[in-house]
Amino acid sequence: MSSDVEISTFEKFKLGPSILKVKIPKEILNKLNKYCDKVIADSIKSESLNWGNKLVGDVSQEFKVEPEFVMSSGFYKFLAECVGRWIFSETNKNITKFEIKNTWVVRQFENEYNPTHWHSAHVSGAGFLKLPEEFGKHYQQNKSKEYRGGNLQLIHGSRMFLSHSIMNIVPKVGDFYFFPNYLMHSVFPFKGSNSERRSISFNASVDDKIYNIYGS
């Protein structure tokens, strides 16, 4: 198809929930992994922090991160600063409240998965602390589609013409993704490795007047 119309600028925009991607500072990343290793090695502490009965994942272990560590490690400051900047960039409003409801670690191994779900509070996120060297490959070697074992998938709406409904994320150590609490997401199982896929997530509330766009 040809046209005589002159196009001076050509920009594409995708409608849908805002998603922020950042890197966890190395110092905080190291502290988080050391903390996890200590919890894992301590069976009594692992049991006291067990969070699996509150979550939907079919995985080896899920445990809460203690609030004291969240503060002392700098993880709270990291989350608060990222969320504050993210929300300001979208709304031009400064949040005055950032209250973490829960923070937890997910330890996923071969053939384990997290089904489609969503979170509570106002904002959520997930970051990658430790990953296997490989996640496996297709059983059918001639597959042209990308193998998605171990990937995080964000889901919104339904697939229609010129409307994407999923965002597929290949995990990389240190990457952290922020998204609205209601955004559905899932994690695919992987194979071919006995190594751990370790991630950390959170739920937090911000100012109700900013979150509630239909406020009175």
| pLDDT value for 192 | 85
| pLDDT value for 4 | 60
| pLDDT value for 162 | 84
| pLDDT value for 193 | 81
CA 4 to chain centre: 46
Nearby residues of 177 by Cβ (< 8 Å), 6 or more positions away:
19, 20, 21, 125, 126, 127, 152, 154, 169
CA 10 to chain centre: 31
Question: How far apart, in whole angstroms, are the C-alpha atoms of residue 159 and residue 206?
Answer: 31
In this predicted structure, the answer to whether residue 7 has a pLDDT above a threshold of 70 is no
| pLDDT value for 6 | 61
Q: CB neighbours (10 Å) of residue 95? A: 21
State the chain's mean pLDDT as an integer.
93
**Beta strands across the sheet bearing 114-117:** 114-117, 184-187, 152-155, 166-169
Using alpha carbons, select from 148, 81, 155, 147 the residue that is nearest to residue 118.
155
Find out if CATH 2.60.120.620 is the number for domain 20-134+149-209: yes
In this predicted structure, the answer to whether residue 49 has a pLDDT above a threshold of 90 is yes
In this predicted structure, the answer to whether residue 73 has a pLDDT above a threshold of 90 is yes
Question: How far apart, in whole angstroms, are the C-alpha atoms of residue 154 and residue 182?
Answer: 11
Q: Which residue has the higher pLDDT, 117 or 9?
A: 117
| Residue ranges per structural domain of the chain | 20-134+149-209
| pLDDT value for 70 | 98
Residue range 206-212: average pLDDT?
A: 96
| pLDDT value for 5 | 60
Residue range 74-91: average pLDDT?
A: 96
In this predicted structure, the answer to whether residue 50 has a pLDDT above a threshold of 70 is yes
| pLDDT value for 9 | 62
Confidence label for 8 from pLDDT (cuts 50, 70 and 90): low
Confidence label for 12 from pLDDT (cuts 50, 70 and 90): low
| pLDDT value for 34 | 98
* Whether 143 contacts 103, CB under 8 Å: no
Beta strands 152-155 and 166-169: pairing type? Answer: antiparallel
In this predicted structure, the answer to whether residue 101 has a pLDDT above a threshold of 70 is yes
Confidence label for 82 from pLDDT (cuts 50, 70 and 90): very high
In this predicted structure, the answer to whether residue 14 has a pLDDT above a threshold of 60 is yes
